[in-house]
Each structure stands twice: as structure tokens, then as C-alpha cells.
Structure 1
Amino acid sequence: MKSRFYRPLSLASVSPSYFPEIALYVRNSGNYILYKNHDRQFTEEDRHRLERTNTSFLYVRSGDMDAVTEYLEQNLDTLLARDDIDSNAKGTILYQTAANYVTDVFDEPGKTADIIRCRSLIRHLMKYVAGHEDALKALQAITSQNYYIFTHSVQVAALMMLVHDRLFRLNQDEMIDVGIGSLLHDVGMVFLSGQLLDKPDALAAIEYHKAKQHAQKGYEHLQSAGTLSEVSLTIVRHHHEKYDGSGYPAGLKGDDIPRSAQLAALCDTYCAMTTDRPKHTALPGAEALRIMEDEVGGAFSPDLFYRFADVVKGKGKA
């Protein structure tokens, strides 16, 4: 697939002042066409020209993503402070920067030890989610471009912090721990074979058993790094536990499952159901909640599910 060799980059995040010297592409009818070569500076005239053609995203080669990720993280404060970028565009920049970080970690799991990067991104994400009523809408733009950049992890982290902001009075450090655990909740997937992850049809029993190991493997990997809090590690390890005790890896039941892990399960399920993926088409939010409600008492705590549903519908408050 050609899309695996190109990654989307929001036009708003390309600053003519300090964007790195890399090639930029536009997409037309599924083809990636060179817009500017690496040796030409991107200019304000370029920005205006692309805006006139309603171009929201440019594309870069996957091999240039290290330079793009470094650029975005180093200049995130400046980009988010600009007056000429609206809040939706800022959200797209922020979500994309976080997704690039997750992609980086999935490519090189050893980078999870660099928790300073993750903590900085979560602080920005927390501030944005708490300060914008439609904070999750900006995710749709970047998610629709390419699921390959692991936007699911960013969706779960953003929704987790929104739910905690609306329902619970956590201090800043606790919220950051929740965000970090949510952003890295599926990091154990990197230890599964690519064939298993990309398989288009249902998994056989032995394959499903291997896939279920990702929660424990992710927990063990992050625990060995020694940089994450117990709250973060708990989310990674127990986000597949079920209220009736039928989940994994520990088979915890009821309120023996830590609240943060129960909420992670709700956010993980909802985000997966409402996003286009290779194996299914996205469901409307109301339909996803209806299906999830059938699992109340089984997969989900009745109390937490209905409070979660109110937040998603825009009615939940602390």
C-alpha cells in the first residue's frame, strides 16, 4: 500500500519560518504528487495557494517522520500560541504530534523510557481537552487521513482525560498519569507479529490467545523501564479486564478492577467502534453506546457506563 510510505501532515502545522528541509506531497485520487522538493523553502504563498484549493493536509515520506516529529515537538508551544490558527487546527496539530509520538514508540519500543516527551504531550493534551467543548472533533480530521499513524491511542487518551475532567476531581499529576497510561495502553502490540496484527479475518483460537498477551507484555516492558507511575501501569495492564471477571490478563472482577482501568476499557471500546478500521466501518456514537449498553454488568460497570455515556453525549459534569 502506497499510504504506508506517506504520512499526513496538517497544513496548519507547516510553518514557513522553521519547517525542516523535507519534501512535501499532495494527494490526488489516491496518488501522492510532489508539491515541493526538500531544497525549496515552504512559503506563505504556498500556504495561501493550498488554502484556496481547500487543502487541509500535506504528506511526507515515512522516512522523513523523525524530522517532522522533532519539529512538531520542539515548536508545539509556538504553534499552539499562534493567533492565526483556530482551535480546531490547533487540536489537529496537537493530536497529530501525539500520534507521531506513539508511532515513534511502536517503531522503537525503547523510546518509552523517554517519558519526558510523553509527559509534555499529555500536559498539552490535557489543557486542550479541558478547555474546548468540542475537543474531540479535531481528532476526526487526522484519524480520517490514515489509521496507520496510531490515532486510536490518541483518541483513547483524549477521551480518558475528558471523562476524568468531567467526572472526577483529580490533581494535575494524577491526570497526567492517566493520560500517559492511556496513550501507551496498547504498546504491548509491538511485541506481536505483524501478520497477526494485519490479519483481515477473524483470529484462530491460538492467535487470539497470543493477541491477548499484549496487555501483560506492555505492562512488563513499561515496568522494566521504571519511569511510569502505578496508575499508568495499571491502565496498560488491566484495560481488558471485564466487570464479570471474564477479562484478561488477571481475570479481575467488579470493583477489584481499578477505576482507571475500567474507564480505559470503556474509552478503548468506544473509540474502536466509532473509528474506521480495516476490519469494520465506524459506527455512529449513539449506535456504539447502544451496543455497549448490552454489555453492562458483563464487560462494564453499570455506574461507570452510564456516567461515561453522559460525558460522551455532552451531559456529564463533575
Structure 2
Amino acid sequence: MKSRFYRPLSLACISPTYFPDIALFVRNSGNYILYKNHDRKFTEADQHRLARTNTQFLYVRSGDMDVVTEYLEQNLDTLLARDDIDSGAKGTILYQTAANYVTDVFDEPGKTADIIRCRNLIRHLMKYVAGHEDALKALQAITSQNYYIFTHSVQVAALMMLVHDRLFNLNQDEMTDVGVGSLLHDVGLVFLSGNLLDTPEALTAIEYHKVKQHAQKGYEHLSAAGTLGEVSLTIVRHHHEKYDGSGYPAGLKGDDIPRSAQLAALCDTYCAMTTNRPKHTALPGKEALRIMEDEVGSSFSPEMFERFAAVVERKGKARKLSLIPSHTAAP
């Protein structure tokens, strides 16, 4: 697909002051048309012109994403502190930066060893999600673009931290571990072949068996890197376990499934159902919860689902993140 050679970049991320000298493209009827070449600066006039035409995204060649990712991560503190950028745009910048990191990891799995990058992004994400009303709304922009797997990981991480913030009194290190594991929960998919997840057709039994291996493969890869804590690794390995024991990879049952993994399964399912993806059209949140409720007792713990649903249904009411140490979260 031609779109694989281009990556979407929110206009909010493109600052005339800081943005690197790379080519930018606009998309029109599925075609990518050069907007500016690498040897021309992106100016304030460009910014205003694109805003007037309601252009939300420009596109960069996939080969330039390393430069863009480095630019965003190095300037994230500055961009998030600017008074001339509103809260929604800051959320888009933050989610875009995190999605670019996940894309980077999928391109080069060895980069998961650079856990400092991941923890830095999670701390920014944690602060934003806990401190802004409708903090998840900015995700809608980037998740509408054509790189679902990467933005899904960011969406799950943001929702996981929001749910943990509302339900448990975790300290900052515990919350960071939850966020890191959530952001990297699907990293095992990188070890699957080709376009297995992009096909709109139903998977064959053999293909589905291969997909089911991603949780264990991701755990083994990250465990070997030696940089993640047990909470993070538990989320990666067990986010597809089911309450009745029919999940994978370990077939854990009931409360033998660690708390963080139970919540990861809920967040993973909810985010998948409420986002457009290759095989499904997004459902409204209430409809997703109704369908998930039918899986209570089989896929999900009744108590955990009830608490999760209560958070999701009032997710717009943000409060500051509590950093007071308390009982350590179960992994």
C-alpha cells in the first residue's frame, strides 16, 4: 500500500520555530502531493494557511520519521509548556509522539532496551491524562489515521493510567510501570509475518494461532532486554487472559489473573471496539460497554468490569494524579 510509505503528522506538531527541514506532503483523494520540499522552511504563513483550510494532518515519508520522532521528543517539554497551544493540541502532540515511539519500536524491536525514552513519554502522558478534562478526546484525531496498531497502543496506555488513577492510590513509579507495559503490550505483534493484521478478511485457524503467540513473544523479548519491571512484563504477557480460564498464553483463571492484566484486557477490548480498525467500524462507548457486559463472568471479572465501566462512563471528570505511596499494586 502506498500509504505505508507516508506517515500522518498532526499540524499541531509542526512548529515554524523548531520543525526540522524535511519534505511535507498533503493527501488528496488517496494521493500524496508535495506541499514543501526539504530545502524550504515551514513558516507561520504555512501554518495559518493550512489552519484556514481546516487541514489537520500533513504527511512525511516513512524514512523521515526518525528525524520527526527525535524532534518531538527533544522539544516535548517546550511544546507542552507553550501558552499559544491549547490543551487539545498539546494532547495531540503528546499522543503523536508516543505513537511515533511505538512505530519506532515496531520497526526496530531492539529499541525497547532504551526504556528511558518510554518512561519519559509515560510520565508526560500520565500528567496530561490525570490533569485535563476530556483528556482522551485528542486521541480521536490520531486514531483516525491509517496506523491503527501504533495509536491503539497509546490509547490503551492512556486509558489504563486513567483507570488506575481513579481506582487505586499508586505511587509514581508504580503508575509509570503500568503505563510502560500498556504502551508496549502489543510489541509481540512485530514478530508476526507480513500483513497478517491488515487483512479485512477473517483470519484462518492457523493465522489466528500465530496471532495468539504475540503476548508470549512480546514478554520473552522484553524480559530478555532486562529493562522492564514485573508489573510491565505482566501486562504484556497476560493481557489476553480470560476470567473463565479460556484466554492465553497461560490460561489463568479468576483472580489468579493479576489485577493489572485484568484491567489491561478491559482497556484493550474497549479501545479496540471504539476505534476504527481494519476489520471493524468503531462503536459508541455505551454500545461497547453493553457488548462487553455480556462477557462478564467469561472474559471479565464482574467486580473489575463494574469498576471499569464506572470510570469510563464519567471519564471526562479529571483530577490530579495522587503520588502518595500506598499498597503496592499486584503485578
Give the secondary-structure state (helix, strand or coil) at the position aligned to 2:144. Answer: helix
- Give the Cα separation in 1 of the matches to 2:227 and 2:154: 20
- Give the Cα separation in 2 of the matches to 1:307 and 1:149: 26
Q: How does 1:1-318 map to 2 (within 5 A)?
A: 1-148=1-148, 150-314=150-314
Give the secondary-structure state (helix, strand or coil) at the position aligned to 2:298. Answer: coil
CA RMSD of aligned residues (A): 1.4
The alignment-based identity, stated in percent, is 88
Higher relative contact order, structure no. (Cα contacts within 8 Å, ≥ 6 residues apart)? 2
TM-score where L is the length of structure 1? 0.97
Counterparts in 2 of 1:223 and 1:98: CA distance versus 1, 3 Å: same
- Give the Cα separation in 1 of the matches to 2:222 and 2:65: 24
User: For structure 1, which runs of at least 5 residues remain unmatched after alignment?
Assistant: none
TM superposition shift of 1:202 = 1.8
Counterparts in 2 of 1:158 and 1:52: CA distance versus 1, 3 Å: same
Given that residues 16 and 42 in structure 1 are in contact (C-alpha distance below 8 angstroms), is that contact kept between their aligned partners in structure 2? yes
What is residue 326 of structure 2 aligned with on the other side? none
Counterparts in 2 of 1:149 and 1:238: CA distance versus 1, 3 Å: closer
- Give the Cα separation in 2 of the matches to 1:127 and 1:198: 33
- Give the Cα separation in 2 of the matches to 1:44 and 1:173: 40
Counterparts in 2 of 1:114 and 1:94: CA distance versus 1, 3 Å: same
Q: Deviations over 1:104-124 (max 9, x none)?
A: 000100000000000000000
- Give the Cα separation in 2 of the matches to 1:9 and 1:195: 23
TM-score where L is the length of structure 2? 0.93
TM superposition shift of 1:23 = 0.5
TM superposition shift of 1:148 = 4.6
Given that residues 22 and 39 in structure 1 are in contact (C-alpha distance below 8 angstroms), is that contact kept between their aligned partners in structure 2? yes
- Give the Cα separation in 2 of the matches to 1:153 and 1:276: 14
- Give the Cα separation in 1 of the matches to 2:56 and 2:203: 37
- Give the Cα separation in 2 of the matches to 1:148 and 1:23: 24
User: For structure 2, which runs of at least 5 residues remain unmatched after alignment?
Assistant: 323-331
- Give the Cα separation in 2 of the matches to 1:83 and 1:30: 35
What is residue 327 of structure 2 aligned with on the other side? none
TM superposition shift of 1:149 = 6.2
- Give the Cα separation in 1 of the matches to 2:11 and 2:261: 36
Q: Deviations over 1:214-269 (max 9, x none)?
A: 10110000000000000000000000000111111111111110000000000000
Given that residues 99 and 149 in structure 1 are in contact (C-alpha distance below 8 angstroms), is that contact kept between their aligned partners in structure 2? no
TM superposition shift of 1:41 = 0.7
TM superposition shift of 1:275 = 0.8
